[in-house]
Structure 1
Amino acid sequence: MLTTMAEYQRLTQDLDRTLKMTASDPVIARETEYYLSRISEISTVDEFVDDTRVFNYAMKAFGLEEMSYAKAFMRKVLTEGIDNPDAFSNKLVDKRYRAFAEAFNFQKLGAAATQIVAQETTTDYYTRRMLEEDSMESNYYLASIQSITTIDEFIGNTRVYSYAMKAFGLEDMIEDADFMRTVLTEGIHDPNAFANQLADSRFRKFAAVFNFESNGEATTSFSATQQGTVDKYMLTMGSKQEADTDYYLSTIADIKSIGEFMENTEVFNYALKAFFLEDFADDTDFIRKILEDGLDSVGGIIEQLEALDQKSLATFANAFNFRERGEDATTYSLTQQGTVDRYIRETLEVSAGEENQGVRLALYFERKAPSITSAYTILADKALTKFVQVALGIPASASSQDIDKQAAMIEKRLDLADLQDPEKLDKLVRRFTMLWELENPTQSAPVPNVLIGQPLQASFSSDLLASLQNLKLGGF
C-alpha cells in the first residue's frame, strides 16, 4: 500500500485522467447517464426530491449524501432558495446547503433551474422578454389607434405605424414612408391603384385594412384595424420569435469561443436581447472585455451604469462564461455537467478515503482551498479543521478553546493568501501528507472515517435537523 503522500501524488499527477477513469466505472457511468437523462425534465422541487436516483446523485455531488434521507429538511432548503437573508440555507452554519440551493435554484428560476444556461435558459429569457415587450406594444397600439384619423397621423405616429407594419410582415419597409404613403393614399378600389399593381400581396392586404381612401376618419374604428391587427401582430411576431429561437438553439452549441459568439450577429443579438442588453450591441469592445476578463476588468464603467444593467451584465457574463469554461461554455449547466463534475470528484475522494483517510482529506482541502476566505471558514468545516490541525501542528484539543482564539492560532501560522498560490498550496498539502503518515502509518489498520457522518436511521423534524446543523463543530 502506498504512503499518504505517494497515493495523493498518484491521484493528482494527472487529475483529469484520474477523474475520467473514475467516471468510466460502470456503476458511476450508469448513475451519471440516468441523472443527465432526467434532470432537464425536472421543473419543480417536488419532482427533484421525489426522483430518488436523481436526488441522491445531486446530494452526493455536493457532499450531502448523509442527508439524502432527510427530504423534508432538504425540501425546505430548496423551497426557500438563497435570495432572502432569512432563507433556511442562509441560516445554516454548513455552507454546503447554500451551495446546493444556489445550484438547484428552483425558488428563483423555477422550471429553468435545471436547464443549460446558454441554451434553454437564454431562450426562456428571450421568449419572456419578447412576450412582455409585445404585450406592452399591443396595449399602446390599442390605446392610440382610435384617435388617428388621417394617413399623415398614422405614419407620423412612429410607434403605432411600426406596430402595424410588423403585423403585416412589412418591417423592412418602415423607413420608406413615401412608398407606403402612396400605397395608402391610392387605396385598393381602383384596379390601377398602386397596391394593386405590386406583385407582393402584403401591400394590398395592408391597404385594405388601413383603407383611409374609402373609409376616411372612420378607418381606425373598425375591428380589423384594432384587435384584428393586434392578433395578426402577435401571430407574426410569434412565428418570427420561433424561427429566431430555432436558429439560436441549432447554432449555439457549436459555438466554442468568444470570437465565434460575437461574430454570429443573429446569435449574439439574440443573447443580448434575452438579457436586456441590446443597447450594448454596438459596443462590442466593451462586451468582449467582459467576456474575456470578467466584470472586474471594467469596474469603473460598471459603477456608472444603472443597477439593472449591472445585474444584467453579471448574469450575461455568467451564462456565457467562456473565460472559465472555454469550449464548454455554451453546453454547460451547473445542475447538469457541473453536478456531474462534482459527483465524480466526490466519488474519487470517498474512494480514496476508503483506503487512506489522509488522502481524502488532502484532496478535499486542495479542492476547497481557493474558496477559503478566513480562519472561520476553516473552523466551520470539520474536515478542513482536521487538515489544518495536522498540517500546522495544532493539537486536536485546541477545538475546545474559544473560537476566536482558534482563529487567531490558525492565522498566526498560516497566511491565507498562500492558499491562492498553487505552489504554496501544494507545499502545504505535502506537509500534511507527511505529518499524517507519521501519525497514521499506512501499514497500520485503516483509520475509521470519523469525519464524514453516517445517515441517521430515525426521522427528525426540519427544525431539529436545523438545530443540529447549526451546532458549532469541534466543541467550540
Structure 2
Amino acid sequence: MSFQPVIPFSGAAGWAFLQRTKVAQQTAFESGAVLQRDVQYFQENIGNVTTAEELVSDRRLLSVALGAYGLSDDINSTYFIRKVLEDGTLSADALANKLSDQRYFEMARDFGFGDYNVPRTQISDFAAKTVAAYKERQFEVAVGNQDQDMRLAMSLERDLGNIIGKSTSDTAKWYSVMGNPPLRQVFETALGLPSSFGTIDIDKQLEVFQEKSERYFGSSAVDQFSDPAQLEELTRLFLARSQIAQGTAALSSNSIALTLLQNV
C-alpha cells in the first residue's frame, strides 16, 4: 500500500504541520513501488522518443510527461496533446500560444518537438528534470486527496516563481497568473473574488487583480511575491478565506437541512 500524506488539520494549522513534515512525508511517498516503476520506465525510454506521436502512443511515458505539468486529466486527449506538442511555441499560430492555460505552453516549450530539429528529449538531463517535476506534482496530488487547499498552497511558490522569473512586463505576468488555473484559484480566493469573476472582460479582470493586490499587499506588482513575507501573507489569506467559505457553506447546508426537518 502506498504512503498517504498526513494532514491532521485544515487551514493555517494544517499548513504549518505540512511545512514541518514535508521532507519526510515526500520521501516516504516517493518510495512507493508504483511511482518508482513509472519513474524508472520514463528514465529508460524517453530518450528513444523523437516525435510527439511517439510520446502520445506510449501511455506510460505520456502519463509521467503530463503529470510533470499538472495535466494528468488530459491522458486520454492524445490528439489534442499531440497537436500542442507538434505546433511548438515559436509560431504565433501555435496552439499552445492560443490556450489560456499556460501549462500547455510550458510543456510544448520544454519538449521542443515543434521548435527544434532535435527535440529536448535528447538532452542528457531532460529525463531527470521531468521526473523531478513529476514526483513533486504527484506528491501534491496525494496531498490534495487529503486537503485540496494544501495542494494549491504547495504549488504556489513554484508556479509564481516561474512567472516572476520571466523577463516580461507586469501586465504579462498577471495574464500568466490568470492563465494558470491553480494560481488563479488561489488569487481569486485570497482576494475575495466571486466564482463568476472569470466571466467578465479580461482587461477588467486584470484591473481588479491589480487593484485588490494593491489593497491587500501594498503593491500591484506580481514580482512582490518573490519576497517570502509577501508570499507567506498570500498563502495565509488564501487559507483563511477558503476556510471561512467552507464554514459558511457548511452552515448554509445545515440550515437548509434544519428547515426541511422542521417542515416534516
Counterpart Cα distance in 1 of 2:92 and 2:199: 30
2:24 maps to 1:24: no
Aligned match of 2:207: 408
Per-residue CA shift, 1:227-253, capped at 9, x if unaligned? xxxxxxxxxxxxxxxxxxxxxxxxxxx
Deviation at 1:368, TM superposition (A): 1.1
Name the SS for the 2:114 alignment partner: helix
Aligned AA for 2:154?
L
Counterpart Cα distance in 1 of 2:152 and 2:231: 14
1:365 to 156, 163, 178: 156
Partners of 2:160 and 2:177 within 8 A in 1:
no
Aligned match of 1:71: 78
Aligned match of 1:163: none
2:108 maps to 1:101: yes
Aligned match of 1:180: none
Name the SS for the 1:106 alignment partner: coil
1:114 to 121, 124, 136: 121
Partners of 1:379 and 1:385 within 8 A in 2:
yes
Name the SS for the 1:85 alignment partner: coil
Deviation at 1:31, TM superposition (A): 0.9
Aligned match of 1:355: 146
Per-residue CA shift, 1:104-132, capped at 9, x if unaligned? 11234445521334xxxxxxxxxxxxxxx
Partners of 1:22 and 1:344 within 8 A in 2:
no
Counterpart Cα distance in 2 of 1:429 and 1:9: 11
Counterpart Cα distance in 2 of 1:419 and 1:50: 40
Partners of 1:42 and 1:111 within 8 A in 2:
no
Counterpart Cα distance in 1 of 2:137 and 2:60: 16
Aligned match of 1:49: 56
Deviation at 1:341, TM superposition (A): 1.4
Per-residue CA shift, 1:40-77, capped at 9, x if unaligned? 12223222221110111111111111112111111112
Partners of 2:52 and 2:113 within 8 A in 1:
yes
1:432 to 238, 241, 250: 238
Number of aligned residue pairs:
226
When the two structures are superposed, what TM-score results if normalisation uses the length of structure 1? 0.44
Relative contact order, CA 8 A, sep 6+: which one is greater? 1
Deviation at 1:425, TM superposition (A): 0.3
Name the SS for the 2:90 alignment partner: coil
Aligned AA for 1:362?
A
Aligned match of 1:382: 181
Counterpart Cα distance in 1 of 2:123 and 2:197: 46
Counterpart Cα distance in 2 of 1:367 and 1:112: 25
Counterpart Cα distance in 1 of 2:180 and 2:116: 29
2:148 maps to 1:342: no
After TM superposition, the structure 1 = structure 2 runs for residues 235-250 of structure 1, keeping only pairs within 5 Å, are none
Deviation at 1:14, TM superposition (A): 5.8
Aligned AA for 1:348?
F
Partners of 1:42 and 1:48 within 8 A in 2:
yes
Q: Which runs of 5+ in 1 are unaligned?
A: 118-332, 445-476
2:9 maps to 1:2: yes
Counterpart Cα distance in 2 of 1:397 and 1:87: 29
Aligned match of 2:261: none
Partners of 1:4 and 1:356 within 8 A in 2:
no
Name the SS for the 2:48 alignment partner: coil
Deviation at 1:411, TM superposition (A): 0.7
2:224 maps to 1:418: yes
Q: CA RMSD in A?
A: 2.2
**Which one has the largest radius of gyration?**
1
Aligned match of 2:256: none
Deviation at 1:90, TM superposition (A): 1.7
Counterpart Cα distance in 2 of 1:63 and 1:28: 16
Deviation at 1:16, TM superposition (A): 4.4
Deviation at 1:36, TM superposition (A): 0.7
Aligned AA for 1:387?
V
Q: Which runs of 5+ in 2 are unaligned?
A: 1-7, 165-169, 214-218, 251-264
2:87 maps to 1:80: yes
When the two structures are superposed, what TM-score results if normalisation uses the length of structure 2? 0.77
Distance 1:41 1:107, change over 3 A: same
Counterpart Cα distance in 2 of 1:420 and 1:31: 34
Distance 1:76 1:428, change over 3 A: same
